[in-house]
Structure 1
Amino acid sequence: MAITTCIFDAYGTLFDVGAAARQAAAEDGFEALAEIWPKLAADWRDKQLQYTWLRAVTGTHTDFWQVTGDGLDWALDASGLDDPAMRERLMQLYWELSPYPEVPEVLGALKDKKKATGILSNGTPEMLSAAVKYAGIARLLDHVLSVESVGVFKPAKAVYDMVGRTFDVPTDEVMFVSANGWDAAAAADYGFTTVWVNRTDAPMDRLPGTPSHILTDLAALPDLVADA
């Protein structure tokens, strides 16, 4: 069956999660970040994700803003940084993450092909609204879905269930796109056609599902959808 609906993960897929640390490192007063911001950004992201999985497994859900702050606190501690002003600035910048350069054009091309588009993310509704507005892509998305509607983080099945319920579309008409290998694998195991945007040339996760396609960025996605 043809793909009618393209669903995107948000952070790391549409929005650059390294942008906050990179921008802060270039600002006056945060010179301590100049040499270490890539490590800080990587630690921050790793812990942010780890905390979502642990909270899902233990049934201790909180929202993504909380785990984002918790992950940053761990990353700052790991780098020996104790600067409340730096922490506040980094968290503030998370509301203004840059989209990857190809994002607006890709979404526009999908809309030109009459495809339904949306986001399915761990982010809170407020975080996602801010990110979409900052990126200027609201008009290119039909729905922005947050896990807060079901109270558990990815890769819980209840999260992927939201797509069919919201878009009223069968699973085999959905192409799910994520820069997280584990997310693409879980969505594949769920039944979606999946695209792993492997921006960092990472190895394949050893999980039950296997992504249908692997790209290095989103640029080729509209042609891929047309051929699916």
Structure 2
Amino acid sequence: MPMTTCVFDAYGTLFDVGAAAAQAAREPDHAALADVWPAIARDWRLKQLQYTWLRAVAGQHCDFWQVTQDGLDWALEASGLDNAATRARLLELYWELRAYPEVPAMLRSLRDRGMKTAILSNGSPAMLEGAVNSAALGPLLDAVLSVEDVQVFKPHHSVYDLVGDHFQCAKTEVLFVSSNGWDAAGAAGYGFQTAWVNRAGEPMDRLYATPHHILPDLTTIPELI
């Protein structure tokens, strides 16, 4: 059965999650970030993800905005920063994350090939709307799907079910793309064809499934169809 639908994780895949800390660090009002923003960006993302997994296992769901704030608070404390204005600025910028430079052309190429395109994300609907609008990607997407519809974070199978429920397509018709190795593995175990966008050159996670493709960025995604 041919592929009909290409689905993307949002944060770290289409949108650069390090952009908020990098931008704030360039602003005079937040000069304290200048030397520590890479560590804050790394810790913020790590804790954000860890909190989704822990909440999913414990059955203590909250929306992604809450874990985003909680992760940032941990990262700021770990770096010895206690500045309410800097915290507020970092959270504000998270609603305006830039897309990676290859994203618009890649999505247009998929659409030109007749593919349906969508986001499937841990992000809350409001967060995703902000990111998509800020990056002007709305016209290039057929759907933006959030885990809030099932009240559990990825890689729970009910999250991946949202794709088939929305598009009425078989698993084998879907190419799922994520910058998170564990997410690409989870989707592969679910039955999707998957591509892991491994921008950082990380080792593969030792899990119950492995991604079908490993790419350095999103440029060649249309060639996989």
> What per-residue deviation string (whole Å, max 9, x for no partner) do you get for residues 143-181 of structure 1?
000000000000101000000000100000000000000
Aligned residues: 225
Q: Please name the residue that 2:150 is paired with.
A: 150
Alignment of 1:1-228 (within 5 A): 1-225=1-225
Give the letter aligned to residue 2 of structure 1.
Answer: P
Cα distance between partner residues in 1 of 2:40 and 2:170 = 40
Structure 1: runs of 5 or more not aligned? none
Cα distance between partner residues in 1 of 2:204 and 2:223 = 23
Report runs of 4+ in structure 1 exceeding 6 Å deviation.
Answer: none
- TM-superposed deviation, 1:128: 0.3
Cα distance between partner residues in 1 of 2:162 and 2:223 = 26
TM-score (norm. length: structure 2)? 0.99
SS at match of 2:48: helix
SS at match of 2:29: coil
SS at match of 1:96: coil
- TM-superposed deviation, 1:223: 1.0
> What per-residue deviation string (whole Å, max 9, x for no partner) do you get for residues 16-66 of structure 1?
000000000000111111111111000000000000000000000000000
Give the letter aligned to residue 102 of structure 2.
Answer: E
Cα distance between partner residues in 1 of 2:51 and 2:152 = 12
Cα distance between partner residues in 2 of 1:177 and 1:124 = 19
> What per-residue deviation string (whole Å, max 9, x for no partner) do you get for residues 68-89 of structure 1?
0000000000000000000000
State the superposition RMSD in angstroms.
Answer: 0.4
Structure 2: runs of 5 or more not aligned? none
TM-score (norm. length: structure 1)? 0.98
SS at match of 1:214: strand
SS at match of 2:95: helix
SS at match of 1:158: helix
Cα distance between partner residues in 2 of 1:26 and 1:182 = 32
